[in-house]
Structure 1
Amino acid sequence: CARTEGYYKIVKDEKIPRLKTSDDSQNSSMLPPAILDTNRTTGAQMSRELRSEHRRNLLALGDVEFADHFKFSQLKLRKKRLRYAKSSIHSWGLFACEPIAMEDMVIEYVGETIRQSIGDLREKKYELEGINSNYMFRVDSDTIVDATKCGNLARFINHSCDPNCYAKIIPVESQKKIVIYSKRDIRLGEEITYDYKFPLEEQKIPCCCGGPTCRGSLN
């Protein structure tokens, strides 16, 4: 640390590289704002491209679990910029506030972790109260994540028969996490969607996604 070092004289040979560094920093500060902004934008774009290439390399090596762990840690460090707003599909939806690359982690689906038996009781209770139970996400045969009353922005993601995302369950530190991945590149301002994949039932839930491959119902 410079604050703990004593004062000492700099010899001539050491001065030259320091002067060059100082000149370079002064020259960069004299660049017009437009060029500086372009440099920042280009740098950010290159950074995104490098991250995407690194993810593709990990997947190409076949180490899918390691790639998932890597991307999950990156998601925790830098969350995607998302917002909820009125949706043309249904009520409220989740929208991208930045471009998202294909096969990138978009958001973790968060809620209360409960057993299947509790989930069945809650589903009946929600129906009696007139509350939509579409916020329940099955993790395995006996585990459900309920985001009905306790969750994050992921609960606003609408269903689509032609979605731009998909859900995947990954193991993280002996826990199972539900993560939403992008199926393709997602544009700025585009609504985030995935296929709910509800089981087939006689009583149908109408689908309003309006996609070219719309099945007409969620179940």
Structure 2
Amino acid sequence: MLRTVRRGLARIPASPVLLSDLLWASAILLSFVLGPRSASVREGAFCLTLATLVALRHRAPALVVTTGSAVWVIQAAVGVHASVWGVGYLLLVHAAGELATGRQSWLPLIAASLSALLVSWKAPVFLVPIVLCWNWGRRSREHRARLSELKDRAARLEREREEIRSKVVVAAEQARIAHELHDVVAHNISVMVIQADAAACVLDSSPQQAKEMVDTIASTGRAAQIELNRPLGILRGS
């Protein structure tokens, strides 16, 4: 049996939010267990209900606050006073303000305010902490949204910087290859021009020497072609 429970707990995704809710729910239950022995069974039932709602407050915040408001009114109507109800209920309101969006974002506040007025219509002192906790949740959501936006912007800037860095590296490599091509072409063309002028000068007086110079021009051209193939291949690859 214990092994089965451990396997079931291992399948539950461990997240800070879930662990926080479970810790708050456990604290509410412990406060009842360790509280005065004169506590009634109905108080225990309300504490168990509150602990369950706190454990689920990040799953369905609007529904949890609406349910908690109804339970709060019932608790006051039957004359049961649970000592930890106020703290737990404010946790529900905070989660609703933080997570509920759209039209649902106002529903928890309205439900909580109506329940506070029904519970203490002569002195609605509970409205102040309810509104403050709901607004605190809204501020937390806005702050989290800003942080997420800043993280996305930082990631986008990092990607753009990497792209720019890659382009700079490619441009530098292309400039180096272009300089190398210029040196190869300039050197070999200079040699070929000199050999061609010399061959033209000795063509009538020494045909054999002119033929050797022409061969030198051809070999220089082939060597230049081989030297040009390597940087041109790199440029085609980039």
Which structure is higher in RCO with an 8 Å CA cutoff and minimum separation 6?
1
Higher share of residues assigned strand: 1
Rg larger for: 2
Fold similarity call, TM over 0.5: no
TM-score range, shorter chain: under 0.3
| TM-score (norm. length: structure 2) | 0.19
Higher share of residues assigned helix: 2
